[in-house]
Amino acid sequence: TQLLEQSPQFLSIQEGENLTVYCNSSSVFSSLQWYRQEPGEGPVLLVTVVTGGEVKKLKRLTFQFGDARKDSSLHITAAQPGDTGLYLCAGARKSLTNSGGSNYKLTFGKGTLLTVNP
């Protein structure tokens, strides 16, 4: 069962256009993270949102966490070729370790492959 549905799966746009990527779940998360991954590299953390309704901006990227902490969106304004990459959302939920302590596990969406054409 995919706990985090990410859409769209693929997105190809022209430089200067705006776009929004969505991450939806029926589960509540303690926090949600957005990553960007380039070919042959590991995911790089862009932002973490924690509070329901929270909005964070990172230059031309705007991240929003849903009021109920079940969904999130990433909006890019005036996309540039350098924004090309795989965007991943990941929700954190608390779990118990073998020893009875607590840990947070991440559940990832399948990703949105963004191509920005010059």
Least distance CB 65 / other proteins (angstroms): 11
Nearer to other proteins, 60 or 105 (CB): 105
d(CA 74, CA 19): 8
Q: How many residues make contact with other proteins (CB under 8 A)? A: 28
> Distance between CA atoms of 53 and 97, rounded to whole angstroms?
30
Site track for other proteins across 21-60, x = CB under 8 A: ---------xx-x-x----xxxxxx--xxx----------
Nearest 5°: phi and psi at 81?
A: -55, -30
- The C-alpha angle 45, 50, 54, rounded to 5 degrees, equals 100
Based on CB atoms, which residue is closest to other proteins, 59 or 97?
Answer: 97
Q: Contact letters (x/-) for other proteins, 57-86, by CB under 8 A?
A: ------------------------------
- Which region, left, alpha or beta, applies to residue 26 given φ > 0 means left and ψ of -120 to 50 means alpha? alpha
Yes or no: say if 7 and 22 are a contact pair by the CB < 8 Å rule.
Answer: yes
Residues near other proteins, by CB under 8 A: 30-31, 33, 35, 40-45, 48-50, 88, 90, 92, 97-99, 101, 103-106, 108-111
